[in-house]
A and B are shown apart, each in its own frame.
Chain A
Amino acid sequence: MNATTAAAHVEPVVKTLRVKATARHAFEVFTADITRWWNRNHSINPTRSPLAKVVMEPKAGGRWYELGEDGSECEWGKVLAWDPPRRVVLAWQISTQWTFDASLHTELEVRFEPQGSETLVTLEHRFLERWGEKARETREMVDGGWGGLLERFAASAEGRDPE
């Protein structure tokens, strides 16, 4: 990675937690049952309709959106990878103004690793610099090298809990 890209790079947010449930169950609650745990205040629907449901279509290329009580739909992003029960990758296309922005692609990856009767869940929200930059050529950043990050991620996935 060259120095100029590094200057504008923002470390991804990485969270790990242990859940007392199987990976399959944790995956299902995170995806199909997201409405059950998602904070209703975290809605970006321009109609301001109360949030009725969060929908994550169970397939790569699927939509990810919120459904208002008035029946309106508001996009959040896309399902980029769908590998139950181990991994889901989502495009989080929400701008700094909390509106949907089709040209913005930050990425959210959630992994589910069985650990005995429990599951280690790792969430990573990355490409955060795109919020500030809206870089015209994001490709160079993707190709820029995420070695340290992947190492860190591998540590989490292998159960070497960073915390």
Chain B
Amino acid sequence: MPYAHALAALADPTRRAVFERLRAGPISVGDIAAELPVSRPAVSQHLKVLKDAGLVRHEAAGTRRLYEVDPRGLGELRSWLDRFWTEALDAFKAEAERQSHHRPRKRSR
């Protein structure tokens, strides 16, 4: 499933906390570690998983490396939801038109 990586990556509460730190804009590993009860190496590891899941990307700022949200990652989740609703609405349309055809004056309750 294409969205599985993003879901799995965000399932871990600490990793989610790391991800939330990126919300305010690009941030360094050191700054994330300073705000959380997590070591720098652990933050780096979480960022690697988030990056592999397509949720995070990084850019060089001088000698520092800054991490930020990669909108394409959540986009993957969104794409999955897009297909989910396409299928659901197809089924809805079929049912609505079937009922309309056979039972135009249907009442409920």
Number of A-B contacts (CB under 8 A): 112
A26 touches B74 (CB 8 A): no
Q: Hey, which chain B residues are within 8 Å of A7, CB to CB?
A: 23, 25, 68-69, 71
Q: Hey, which chain B residues are within 8 Å of A19, CB to CB?
A: 92-93, 96-97
Q: Which of B82-105 contact A (CB under 8 A)?
A: 82, 84-89, 91-97, 99-100, 104
Complex alpha-carbon distance, A21 and B77, angstroms: 32
A30 touches B92 (CB 8 A): yes
Q: Which of B47-72 contact A (CB under 8 A)?
A: 55, 68-69, 71
Query: Is the contact region of chain B dominated by helix, strand, or loop, or is it mixed?
Result: helix
Would you give the shortest CB distance from A68 to chain B, in whole angstroms? 20
Select which of B16, B20, B87, B100 is within 8 A of A25 by beta carbon. B100
Q: Does A29 contact B (CB under 8 A)?
A: yes
Complex alpha-carbon distance, A36 and B77, angstroms: 27
B96 touches A29 (CB 8 A): yes
A25 touches B99 (CB 8 A): yes
Known: A7-B25, A96-B11, A133-B20. A29 touches B92 (CB 8 A): yes
Q: Does A8 contact B (CB under 8 A)?
A: yes
Q: Does A47 contact B (CB under 8 A)?
A: no
Complex alpha-carbon distance, A11 and B75, angstroms: 8
A37 touches B20 (CB 8 A): no
Question: A interface vs B, CB < 8 Å?
Answer: 3-4, 7-11, 13, 15, 17, 19-22, 25-26, 28-30, 32-33, 36-39, 42, 96-97, 121, 123, 125, 128-129, 131-135
- Some 24 contacts from A to B, beta carbons below 8 A apart, are A8-B23, A8-B69, A10-B71, A10-B75, A10-B77, A13-B82, A15-B89, A28-B106, A30-B92, A30-B96, A33-B108, A36-B95, A37-B88, A37-B91, A37-B94, A121-B89, A123-B89, A125-B85, A128-B77, A131-B77, A132-B10, A132-B69, A132-B73, A133-B20
